[in-house]
């Protein structure tokens, strides 16, 4: 049991930390494309400098993401050996595609983006930024497809009863495309990519706001902010539509998870209508949600388009999946992480509208309240993405593969708990150091500003004798 | 259980990926391990020669891990969980050196430089040693059992038992060999100052590599086998004895290292070819000695005597692990993924290579072509490159 808990903690720590960087860098990768495209049109040196500035911050972010990403691949073997034995035929072929098709595209062209300034033509530099963005997006697509397969498995050989037909303790691949495009892949990847764009836009917006508040590099900051605010608003609107689509898929495929999101312990009857909670404190022990504030019948309507539709509660959904009470997902964590994500989604929509309104009246730089909120909210996109993932991954417990394999059966049971404890502490320490170094470096690079960027060479130039 | 064509193809493919990683990741790591032993004036040029490529090079390591997981998932699960702490250290070393490459020259303060220099240099020294120790242990054999769930595993309890003399020798060999290969890469691509320096280090590293390779060879054949701390890996000699043409691989490795001493001092490219051929020889030697096994069982290695390449149908080699009462030996048959997964994985891998090769070569040419006239490119400025 200790090994299970420690392995889960380690996975949570390593994935939560890793996810910060690809989430931000995928968003920045597409913003780089926009900034460079604007430069291709204007050919102005200021626009080139602006692009290089954001590309440099992107490069710093990407490096940490790439480095910490290797951990995720290796952990399948080191911490989740029995999961690998059990499901390798299903989840590994997509990972091979991720490495050979997506990672290489991204990794090869990022070399040009970061080290090729002044060494390649501007056209090739632009093409590289597109390649990097495509590679990053494809990488995200495949890893999210693998996670989706674990949530809504498909494409494996079934026996007469609909259970997986095993061969030597292995699930057998039947249809690769069914496995990759399983029922939750498309809503989940769309939802995730939009979250990445919101995160990238929020980051650019926050840093630009800092310059405007300090009355430094205002022209540069206004240009960056003008692009970021449009991306932020468009994505925030789209996210409500896509988020709803994704939730409908959860309603259908993972009723236990939905009930955990909503803190709904008891099923509601036909005609009763389930309320949508704005707030509440779920008490898992007593199977009741206290201090409820909600909109009557709204959950039934959102989930089924019918105010009177019955919604399955945790108790019935768990019984349906043969999950005993001690294995229920943490309702408190699912409920609050889901609600935090929703609150931030609301914030981004309102904030984006405000920003566009100010932009239209050409008053973006004048509203110090807007700028201060932009600065504070720079990491909100990340927080929303992180709590969204938490909700998705905690809510689906106790399953590592929905309905097929429990998390507690997926571990490396021959690894002593002490060793996992050592590695957890090791990663916590390492990641704290990396966080400090990353934040310090970004802060310094922002203080140095776009003027410190060399237009003719890579960032090693002029730093030879340090 | 029969050995299938797909299993053999995957064995070859994993070997090819291991070779590519030892060539690309090898120079990358090698440059890093030389870094702290180079003057501060040489270091920026060294970083510039790995900067554009470290990412793709590291993806080859992920591809190696992913390829093993795709083809022989039992090997991936058993070794990565069994080597637990060693794998965690591999990850730490990898993270530190990668972040260092991108962070080091972003700021100019002395403290910042010192920290990331140390991370890059030490990470690049620790990484090949750990990878070598892991490979050495796998070749020597691991104490495999079947766990409660019916899957092969081994007790990860004794971290220090991984540090047996045989495996440590393999680890040191990996360090020295990659450093030598890194020298040859810098000799081909670096500036004059860097080239002069690596031309001094190269012969020493080549000599030590050769000596270590021969010592490991003798240790493998003469050192006995089994689970003793001091044991070598005599079971690996069987394939060579049964099918002597396989000696071409170790001979190629030795030949490559000797060729280095014959290559002209001024040649940029010949020394690099020497270490490329030597790498082919070394990886080939590993594959030839193991086939068709992947992880021998150190506790039972004495009890069976595979008669080599013709032993495909031997019950012990292909016995179904989960239903076997014997302590398992992992082979390309019983550790393999299901056939459809092997086929899909192979198609994807080949497709990936076909897509990747053109742009990889294109980008290397861009950087290495410009490397010859960096000064011209910088002085002419970016405006002319529009």
Please give the full DSSP string across B10-34, using - where no structure is assigned.
HHHHHHHHHHHHHHHHHHHHHHHHH
> Which residues sit opposite B295 in a β-bridge?
B330
Of the candidates B353, B360, B365, the one whose C-alpha atom is nearest the C-alpha of residue B57 is B360
B114: contact with A, CB 8 A cutoff = no
CB contact under 8 A, A68 and B95: yes
- Judge whether residue A443 has pLDDT over 90: yes
- CA-to-CA distance for A450 and A443, rounded, in angstroms? 13
Nearest Cα neighbor of B52 from A59, A71, A54, A248 is A59
User: Which residue reads 């793709």 in tokens?
Assistant: B56
**Binding-face residues of A in 36-55 toward B, CB within 8 A:** 43
CA distances from B121 to A217, B38, B42 (A): 38, 10, 14
Taking CB atoms and an 8 Å cutoff, what residues of chain A touch B155? 414
Interface touch B386/A444, C-beta < 8 Å? no
Which structure tokens are listed for A226?
């003008």
Q: pLDDT tier at A166 (50, 70, 90 boundaries)?
A: confident
Instruction: Judge whether A446 and B186 are in contact, CB under 8 Å.
Output: no
Which positions in chain B touch A466 (Cβ < 8 Å)? 105, 108-110, 112-113
Judge: A121–B386 Cβ closer than 8 Å, yes or no.
yes
Which residues 221-250 of A have a C-beta within 8 angstroms of B? Answer: none
State what percent of residues in chain A have pLDDT above 90. Answer: 53
B345 interaction partners in chain A (CB closer than 8 Å): 92-93, 96
Mutation target to probe the B interface, by most B beta carbons within 10 A, among A88, A125, A179, A425 is A88
Which B residues in the span 85-104 are in contact with A, Cβ-Cβ below 8 Å? Answer: 85, 87-88, 90-92, 94-95, 98-99, 101-103
Minimum mean pLDDT among A110-114, A250-254, B266-270: which range?
B266-270
The C-alpha angle B124, A23, A15, rounded to 5 degrees, equals: 60
ω before A320 within 30° of 0 (cis)?
Answer: no
- Interchain contact B153–A (C-beta under 8 A): yes
Cα B245 from Cα B346, distance rounded (Å): 28
Structure tokens at A237: 């609107």
SS3 A279: strand
Cα–Cα distance measured from residue B179 to residue B185, given in angstroms and rounded to the nearest whole number: 10
Please answer whether residues A253 and A152 qualify as being in contact, where contact means their C-beta atoms are separated by less than 8 angstroms.
Answer: yes
Q: Using an 8 Å Cβ cutoff, are A455 and A118 in contact?
A: yes
Q: What is the pLDDT of residues A345-380, one digit of tens each?
A: 999 999 999 999 998 888 888 888 999 999 999 999
Look at residue A459 in the predicted model and tell me its pLDDT. 63
Sign of the torsion formed by the C-alpha atoms of B267, B273, B276 and B281: negative
> What is this model's ipTM?
0.89
Count of Cβ atoms closer than 10 Å to residue A251 Cβ:
18
- Measured between beta carbons, the chain B residues lying within 8 angstroms of A99 are 59, 62-63, 66, 352
Nearest to B69 among A84, A174, A464 (CB): A84
CA-based end-to-end distance of chain A: 50
Q: What is the pLDDT of residue A454?
A: 78
Could A108 and B56 be called an inter-chain contact, meaning their C-beta atoms sit closer than 8 Å?
yes
Using the beta-carbon criterion (under 8 Å), do B95 and A434 form an inter-chain contact?
A: yes
How distant, in Å, are the alpha carbons of A388, B333, B368 from that of A381? 10, 48, 40
Q: Is the separation of the CB atoms in B40 and A66 below 8 Å?
A: no
Q: Give the pair of three-digit tokens for residue B163.
A: 């540090």
B12 touches chain A (CB under 8 A): no
Spatial distance between the Cα atoms of A21 and A200, rounded to a whole number of angstroms:
10
Quick one: which H or E segment has residue A160?
Answer: none
| Residue A464 binned pLDDT confidence (cut-offs 50, 70, 90) | very low
Q: How far apart, in Å, are the Cα atoms of B349 and each of B9, B66, B332, B354?
A: 12, 10, 18, 9
Q: Which residue of A has its CA nearest to B43?
A: A464
**pLDDT category of residue A210 using cuts at 50, 70 and 90:** very high
Residue B211 near chain A (CB below 8 Å): no
Question: Is A460 in CB contact (< 8 Å) with chain B?
Answer: yes
pLDDT per residue of chain B (386 residues) written in tens, 0 to 9: 578 889 999 999 999 999 999 999 999 999 999 999 998 888 888 998 898 899 999 999 999 999 999 999 989 998 988 888 889 999 999 999 999 999 988 888 888 989 999 999 999 999 999 999 999 999 988 888 888 878 888 876 666 778 889 999 999 999 999 999 999 999 998 888 888 999 999 999 999 999 999 999 999 888 777 777 888 888 888 888 888 899 999 999 999 999 998 887 778 888 999 999 999 999 999 999 988 888 888 777 655 444 333 343 444 444 555 444 455 788 888 888 899 999 999 999 999 999 999 999 988 888 887 554 444 333 333 333 33
Please indicate if any CB of chain A lies within 8 Å of the CB of B16. Answer: no
Provide the pairing of β-strand A166-167 with A170-171: antiparallel
For residue B109, the chain A residues in CB contact (below 8 A) are 466
Q: Left, alpha or beta for B289 (phi > 0: left; psi -120 to 50: alpha)? A: alpha
* Secondary structure (H, E, C), B331-362: ECCCCCCCHHHHHHHHHHHHHHHHHHHHHHHH
A449: contact with B, CB 8 A cutoff: no
B196 half-sphere exposure, CB direction, 13 A CA radius? 5
Tell me the whole-structure pTM to 2 decimals: 0.90
What single string gives the DSSP state of each residue in A8-24?
Answer: HHHHHHHHHHHHHHHHH
| Residue-wise DSSP of A25-88 | HHHHHHHHHHHHHHHHHH--HHHHHHHHHHHHHHHHHHHHHHHHHHHHHHHHHHT-HHHHHHHH
Kindly state whether A176 is in contact with chain B, defined as any CB-CB distance less than 8 angstroms: yes
Which of A73, A89, A466 is facing B338, going by the closest CB pair?
A: A89
Question: pLDDT band for position A141 (50/70/90)?
Answer: very high
pLDDT value at position A143? 93
Mean pLDDT value across residues A190-209: 94
**Does residue A274 register a pLDDT over 90?**
no
Tokens of A70: 């290797």
- The Cα A359–Cα B167 span in angstroms is 65
Nearest to B155 among A70, A414, A463 (CB): A414
CB contact under 8 A, B378 and A456: yes
Q: What's the distance, Cα to Cα, between the start and end of chain B in Å?
A: 61
Neighbour tally for A452: CB within 10 Å:
14
Alpha helix stretches (DSSP H) within A171-297: 176-180, 185-213, 218-253, 255-262
Q: Which residue has the higher pLDDT, A342 or B310?
A: A342
pLDDT score of B310: 36
A274 vs chain B: nearest CA distance in angstroms?
A: 42
Q: Please, what is the average pLDDT of chain A?
A: 89
Of the candidates A298, A299, A292, A283, the residue with the CA atom closest to the CA atom of residue A331: A283
> What pLDDT, on the 0 to 100 scale, is given for residue A300?
87
CB-based contact B371:A119 (threshold 8 Å): no
Residues in chain B: 386
Residues of chain A positioned with their CB less than 8 A from the CB of B13: none
Cβ(A257)–Cβ(A395) below 8 Å: yes
Point out which residues pair with A166 in neighbouring strands: A171
* Residues A349, B190: Cα–Cα separation, whole Å: 52
- Which positions in chain A touch B352 (Cβ < 8 Å)? 96-97, 99-101, 104
Whether residue A225 has pLDDT greater than 70 = yes
Out of A76-85, A438-447, B53-62, B324-333, pick the least confident. B324-333
């Amino acid at each position: 049991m200790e090994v299970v808990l420690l392995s889960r903690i380690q996975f949570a720590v390593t994935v939560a930390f890793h996810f910060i960087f690809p989430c931000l860098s995928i968003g920045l990768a597409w913003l780089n494309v926009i900034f460079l495209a604007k430069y291709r049109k204007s050919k102005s040196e200021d626009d080139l400098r602006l692009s290089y500035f954001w590309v440099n911050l992107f490069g710093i972010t990407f490096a940490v993401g790439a480095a910490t990403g290797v951990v995720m691949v290796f952990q399948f073997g080191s911490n989740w050996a029995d999961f690998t034995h059990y499901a390798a035929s299903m989840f590994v072929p997509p990972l091979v595609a991720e490495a050979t098709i997506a990672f290489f595209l991204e990794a090869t062209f990022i070399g040009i983006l970061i080290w090729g300034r002044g060494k390649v033509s501007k056209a090739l530099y632009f093409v590289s930024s597109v390649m990097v963005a495509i590679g990053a997006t494809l990488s995200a697509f495949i890893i999210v497809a693998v996670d989706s397969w674990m949530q809504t498995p498909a494409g494996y050989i079934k026996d007469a009863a609909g259970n997986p037909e095993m061969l030597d303790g292995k699930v057998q691949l039947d249809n690769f495309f069914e496995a990759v495009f399983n029922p939750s892949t498309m809503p989940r990847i769309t939802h995730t990519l939009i979250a990445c764009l919101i995160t990238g836009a929020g980051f650019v917006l926050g840093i630009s706001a800092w310059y405007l508040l300090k009355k430094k590099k205002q022209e540069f900051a206004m240009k960056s902010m003008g692009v970021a605010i449009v991306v932020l608003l468009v994505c925030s609107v789209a996210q409500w539509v896509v988020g709803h689509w994704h939730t409908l898929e959860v309603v259908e495929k993972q009723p236990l998870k939905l009930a955990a999101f909503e803190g709904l312990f008891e099923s509601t009857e036909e005609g009763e209508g389930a309320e949508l909670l704005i707030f509440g404190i779920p008490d898992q022990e007593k199977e009741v949600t206290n201090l409820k504030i909600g909109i009557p019948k709204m959950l039934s309507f959102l989930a089924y388009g019918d105010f009177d539709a019955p919604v399955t509660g945790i108790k019935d959904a768990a019984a349906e999946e043969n999950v005993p009470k001690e294995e229920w997902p943490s309702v408190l964590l699912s409920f609050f992480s889901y609600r935090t994500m929703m609150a931030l989604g609301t914030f981004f929509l309102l904030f984006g509208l405000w920003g566009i309104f100010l932009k239209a009246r050409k008053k973006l730089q004048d509203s110090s309240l807007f700028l201060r909120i932009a600065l504070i909210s720079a990491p909100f996109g990340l927080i929303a993405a992180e709590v969204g993932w938490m909700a998705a991954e905690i809510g689906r417990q106790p399953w590592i593969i929905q309905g097929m394999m429990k998390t507690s059966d997926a571990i490396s049971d021959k690894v002593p708990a002490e060793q996992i404890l050592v590695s957890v502490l090791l990663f916590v320490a390492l990641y704290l150091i990396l966080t400090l170094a990353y934040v310090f470096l970004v802060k310094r690079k922002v203080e140095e500003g776009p003027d410190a960027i060399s237009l003719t060479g890579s960032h090693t130039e002029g730093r030879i004798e340090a | 259980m029969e050995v299938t064509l797909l299993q053999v193809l995957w064995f070859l493919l994993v070997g090819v990926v291991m070779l590519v990683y030892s060539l690309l990741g090898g120079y990358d790591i090698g440059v890093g391990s030389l870094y702290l032993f180079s003057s501060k004036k040489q270091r920026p040029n060294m970083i510039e020669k790995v900067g554009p490529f470290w990412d793709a090079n590291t993806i080859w390591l992920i591809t190696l891990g992913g390829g093993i997981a795709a083809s022989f998932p039992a090997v991936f699960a058993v070794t990565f969980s069994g080597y637990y702490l060693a794998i965690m250290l591999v990850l730490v070393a990898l993270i530190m050196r990668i972040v260092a490459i991108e962070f080091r020259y972003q700021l100019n303060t002395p403290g910042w430089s010192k920290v990331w220099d140390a991370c890059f240099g030490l990470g690049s020294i620790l990484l090949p040693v750990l990878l070598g120790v892991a490979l050495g242990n796998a070749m020597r054999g691991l104490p495999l059992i079947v766990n409660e769930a019916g899957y092969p595993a081994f007790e990860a309890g004794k971290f220090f038992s991984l540090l047996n003399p045989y495996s440590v020798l393999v680890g040191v060999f990996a360090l020295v060999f990659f450093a030598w290969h890194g020298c040859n890469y810098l000799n081909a691509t670096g500036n004059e100052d860097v080239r002069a320096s690596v031309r001094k280090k190269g012969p020493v590293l080549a000599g030590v590599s050769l000596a270590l390779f021969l010592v490991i060879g003798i240790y493998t054949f003469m050192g006995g086998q089994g689970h003793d701390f001091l044991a070598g890996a005599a079971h690996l000699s069987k394939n060579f004895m049964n099918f002597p043409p396989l000696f071409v691989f170790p001979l190629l490795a030795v030949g490559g290292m000797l060729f280095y001493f014959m290559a002209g001092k001024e040649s940029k490219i010949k020394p690099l070819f020497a270490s490329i051929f030597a790498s082919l020889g070394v990886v080939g030697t590993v594959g030839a000695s193991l086939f068709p096994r992947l992880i021998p069982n150190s506790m039972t290695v004495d009890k069976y005597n595979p008669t080599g390449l013709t032993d495909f149908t031997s019950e012990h080699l292909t016995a179904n692990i989960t239903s076997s009462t014997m302590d398992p030996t992992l082979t390309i048959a019983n550790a393999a993924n299901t056939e459809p997964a092997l086929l899909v994985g192979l198609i994807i891998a080949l497709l990936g290579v076909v897509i990747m090769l053109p742009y990889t070569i294109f980008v290397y040419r861009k950087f290495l072509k410009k490397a010859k006239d960096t000064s011209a490119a910088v002085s002419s400025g970016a405006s002319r490159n529009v």
